[in-house]
Amino acid sequence: MDITKATLLLNRIATQRRSKVLQTISYYGIFVIEGLVLASLGPTLDNLAQQTSSTTGQVGILFTMRSIGGLLGALIGGQLYDKNPGHPLMLTMLAITIAALFFIPLTPVLWLLCLLMLILGFAQNTLDVGSNTLLAWIHGERVAPYLNGLHFFFGVGALIAPIIVAQALKMTGEIRWAYWILGMAVLLVIAWLKPVPSPIKSALGQDIETKPTNKPLVNLFTLFFFIYVGAEICFGGWIYNYAQSMGLANTTTAAYLTSGFFGAFTLGRLLSIPIAARFKPGRVLSYNLAGSLLSLGIIILGPASSTLLWIGTLGLGLSMASIFPGVYSMAERHIAITGKITGVFFIGGNLGAMSIPWIVGQLLENANPQAMMTFLMGNVAVAAIVFIILNRYLQNMSKQPI
């Protein structure tokens, strides 16, 4: 009888481990899809503008609509996963993603394209919330390295997307095949996820140390996320158009430049894992922001040089890679992170992603394209100032380096 019980216990443990592996791979696949979808918009903007008889400035509103949808997904997603089994909800969002990807390259009216982007943003951010939440339920206190891996795979998808777009345009001359190939990739994830059981919400108690949650501190973090996320989304989305407007790249080369940014971004996230284990986040973030300013400065000082554009783009990708997780990690050390406060941070980031790319679209349409880089340089400089204020505020609170 004891042997039978031991055998059953071992089988149960083996089954649980297998489920965890399958679930984790599923969420990594979903984040590859998120990277593919996010990074595909920039290289296809010109085609979408022609498709809808719109100008570059007008079509820039697609960033805003996708971010509004993402904002709704961030606000609603957590509640949906608390009340419903995770995987059926994810499968629904993946199906919505396929439908949006199918119709986007067939839509000739800008307002209808905006609606599709709104829906796509909602589905993608609901998947984002779900992947992070369910991964935490699976791995509990050991989730940190798995979360780093999750966001690394987002970078993998973002790296591949511009290459898919470039090759599709090169072979067919139409963006529809780029979007439809992405839809096929979503189908593969659906096929993998469908038989995998949903994880059960963790019932483990949390011993959360009491930390200050004063409004000035929360507001500073939220302001930083607003500025930084807007700059990151803006550069990744508009660098394709900037390179072409400046006469520094053709369609294919501009797509590869976008891929280079996300490739460096992905590499930076991979390298940040051991770095974060050795150094305090405040110190790492100082170098990140300095590197971002230097990289943008290189691009601005060499507006006619494709070589300097490549150097600055790759440098910016490496420098920006660990800023978001670094700031969030710094916040976690000083604030009792609740769902409400995390929601405030993500609202700030989504508002930045809505507004800043739209402003840059107007600059590209109505001013010299180099105004885009000058604007982003100012953006990152303001982020650095906010970080300095935040750093000193936290040092005064804790009387120790952050």
- Closest to 70 (Cα-Cα) out of 368, 381, 378, 357: 357
**Dihedral class, residue 399 (left if φ above 0, else alpha if ψ from -120 to 50, else beta):** left
Residue 365 to residue 58: CA distance in whole angstroms: 9
Q: Would you state the pLDDT for residue 208? A: 44
Residue 168 to residue 184: CA distance in whole angstroms: 14
DSSP 295-353: HHHHHHH-TT-HHHHHHHHHHHHHHHTTHHHHHHHHHHHHS---HHHHHHHHHHHHHHH
Q: Would you state the pLDDT for residue 7? A: 55
How many angstroms separate the Cα of 41 from the Cα of each of 2, 34, 101, 319, 386? Answer: 60, 12, 11, 22, 30
Q: Collect all residues with Cβ–Cβ distance below 8 Å to 260 and sequence separation of at least 6.
A: 310, 313, 314, 317
Sign of CA dihedral 365, 370, 375, 379: positive
Residues 72-130: pLDDT tens digits? 887 787 678 777 888 999 999 999 999 999 999 998 999 999 999 999 999 988 898 78
332 phi and psi angles, rounded to 5 deg: -65, -30
Q: Give me 112's structure tokens.
A: 């209808």
Q: Would you state the pLDDT for residue 120? A: 94
Mind listing the domains of the chain with CATH numbers? 1-198 (1.20.1250.20), 213-402 (1.20.1250.20)
Q: Would you state the pLDDT for residue 292? A: 95
DSSP 15-32: HHHHHHHHHHHHHHHHHH
pTM exceeds cut of 0.75: no
Please name the amino acid found at residue 252. T
Q: Would you state the pLDDT for residue 204? A: 41
Q: Which residues of the chain are modeled with pLDDT < 50?
A: 1, 203-210, 339, 401
Residue 193 to residue 88: CA distance in whole angstroms: 9
Q: Give me 276's structure tokens.
A: 């974060």
Burial of 244 (0-12, 13-18, 19+ CB in 10 A): middle
Q: Would you state the pLDDT for residue 206? A: 45
Name the percent of the chain lying above pLDDT 90: 25
Q: Give me 395's structure tokens.
A: 């040092």
Q: Would you state the pLDDT for residue 16? A: 63
Q: Would you state the pLDDT for residue 175? A: 84
